[in-house]
């Protein structure tokens, strides 16, 4: 198995985050290709490439761009979502640390495509060191005339601003992110019934993930077919998959969609740590339902396969667990996080996350009864589909997968069993 270098091409180059080194290796070449086209042509290339959002949802990126009106009646904006707060997910910070100019290049092309002259990067509050690297790259780009009043001497203005969050997980949800940027509490907004852009101070706005935007230069420079030569028909291209947990070589490795999950773990992760056996894998960040070892052995890393298994590719952040992992304790760890990070706007989520966290605490103390496991699933069902955003439904899916697939471990903690 070999890696696929679309976004990670410069990651192993010394000082790749600096402008001089980045330009030596082709940075900003795609901008000239973009300005030889009009915005609609760029959007059509992105649509044809099949690029999907890499922040977790996997929606077609080109369709989102098409939602931004280009009638000139009001300004439009680009907001890059760098609020990478999902446990097990750490790919976007790799782009920011190793190749921030690739992100800026993608922002220039995307902004030009949708007619935006002001772009923002909303970065996770805890990412202070990465914010500094990113800001230095933006300052370099301004000084070199790459962005500003004339983008690389073209008659097009683009200003980029970094907006630092305050460490709220919920602000990774795009509408909560925009609420935060508007100076309000980071609460998700009600979703419209029909497709439309997001809105920043009442103006149409494209919110897109770091890796999604960083994939744009390759597509515009090399064409849609070049991107489609990787991956599968429905999941074309590549993703920066993350490995954490009980593996010998945790890290970020870019491969094309559709590769075997087990082979990926063996090849890039070096297998399970200390010669242990694989027990379970959370495939796409902490909010995706866990897979058993049997499921992981036959899973491929693409959206369709994991959806068919009742889970999700998410952000590609795999958390690997060995045979000694207590699944009850693992779920408790996750529920503590969700209990803490619920924004509190919706009652089923605000009360439900605390309730299930408390039930798990009772079980781990050896004071639980059979009805507690049933109640755990009952509360989970109440949380699913009754809230404004997908936070609570995601928690519900996590609970159901852990309990249904590893119920014996939960029952072992019951007071009667002890």
At 117, list the tokens: 């002259």
Looking at the domain 19-228, which fold is it? Answer: Rossmann fold (3.40.50)
pTM of the model as a whole: 0.96
Mean pLDDT of the chain: 95
Burial label, 43 (beta-carbon count in 10 A; 0-12, 13-18, 19+)? buried
- Predicted local confidence at residue 196, as pLDDT: 94
194 versus 229: the higher-pLDDT residue is 229
Q: How do the domains of the chain map onto residue ranges?
A: 19-228, 238-322, 327-411
What's the pLDDT band for 72 if we cut at 50, 70, 90?
confident
Q: Which CATH number fits the domain 327-411, given the four candidates 1.10.3720.10, 1.10.10.10, 1.20.1440.230, 2.160.10.10? A: 1.20.1440.230
- For domain 238-322, the question of CATH label 3.10.20.600 is answered with yes
CA distance 179 to 303: 29
* Average of per-residue pLDDT across 223-232: 96
| pLDDT for residue 372 is more than 60 | yes
What's the pLDDT band for 418 if we cut at 50, 70, 90?
low
Q: How is 108-152 classified by DSSP, letter by letter?
A: HHHHHHHT-SEEEEEE-TT-HHHHHHHHHHHHHHHHTTSSBSSGG
End-to-end CA distance of the chain: 46
Domains 238-322 and 327-411 share a fold: no
- Predicted local confidence at residue 417, as pLDDT: 62
CA distance 301 to 408: 28
| pLDDT for residue 1 is more than 80 | no
Task: Supply φ then ψ for residue 192, to 5 degrees.
Answer: -70, 160
At 60, list the tokens: 């077609």
| pLDDT for residue 416 is more than 70 | no
| pLDDT for residue 79 is more than 60 | yes
| pLDDT tens-digit series, residues 380-401 | 999 998 899 999 999 999 999 9
| pLDDT for residue 176 is more than 60 | yes
* Average of per-residue pLDDT across 216-244: 97
Q: How is 171-192 classified by DSSP, letter by letter?
A: GGSHHHHHHHHTTS---PPPPP
- Predicted local confidence at residue 219, as pLDDT: 98
């Amino acid at each position: 198995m070999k890696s696929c270098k679309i976004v990670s091409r410069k990651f192993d180059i010394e000082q790749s985050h600096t402008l001089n080194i980045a330009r030596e290796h082709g940075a900003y070449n795609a901008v000239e290709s973009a300005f030889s086209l009009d915005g609609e042509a760029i959007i059509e290339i992105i649509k044809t490439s099949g690029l999907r959002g890499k922040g977790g949802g996997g929606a077609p990126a080109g369709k989102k761009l098409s939602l931004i009106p280009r009638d000139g009646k009001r300004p439009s904006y680009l907001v890059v979502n760098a609020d990478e707060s999902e446990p097990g997910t750490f790919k976007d910070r790799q782009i920011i640390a190793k190749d921030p100019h690739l992100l800026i290049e993608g922002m220039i092309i995307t902004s030009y495509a949708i007619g935006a002259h002001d772009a923002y990067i909303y970065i996770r509050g805890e990412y202070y060191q990465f914010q500094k690297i990113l800001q230095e790259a933006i300052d370099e780009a301004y000084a070199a005339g790459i962005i500003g009043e004339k983008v690389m001497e073209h008659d097009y203005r683009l200003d980029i601003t970094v907006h630092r969050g305050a460490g709220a997980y919920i602000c990774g949800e795009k509408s909560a992110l925009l609420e935060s940027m508007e100076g309000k509490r980071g609460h998700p907004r009600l979703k419209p019934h029909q497709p439309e852009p997001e809105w920043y101070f009442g103006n149409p706005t494209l919110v897109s993930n770091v890796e999604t935007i960083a994939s744009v230069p390759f597509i515009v420079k090399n064409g849609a077919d070049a991107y489609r030569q990787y991956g599968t028909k429905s999941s074309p291209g590549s993703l920066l998959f993350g490995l954490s947990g009980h593996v010998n070589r945790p890290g970020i490795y870019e491969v094309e969609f559709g590769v075997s999950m087990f082979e990926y773990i063996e090849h890039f992760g070096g297998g399970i740590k200390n010669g242990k056996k694989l027990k379970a894998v959370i495939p796409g960040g902490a909010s995706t339902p866990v897979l058993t070892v049997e499921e992981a052995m036959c899973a491929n890393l693409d959206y369709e396969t994991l959806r068919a298994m009742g889970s999700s590719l998410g952000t590609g952040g795999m958390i690997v667990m060995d045979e000694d992992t207590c699944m009850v304790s693992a779920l408790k760890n996750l529920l503590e996080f969700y209990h803490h990070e619920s924004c509190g706007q919706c009652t089923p989520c605000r009360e439900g996350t605390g309730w299930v966290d408390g039930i798990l605490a009772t079980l781990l103390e050896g004071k639980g009864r059979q009805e507690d496991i049933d109640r755990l699933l009952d509360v989970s069902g109440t949380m699913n589909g009754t809230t404004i955003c997908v936070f609570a439904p995601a928690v519900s899916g996590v609970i159901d997968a852990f309990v249904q697939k590893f119920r014996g471990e939960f029952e072992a903690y019951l007071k009667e069993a002890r």
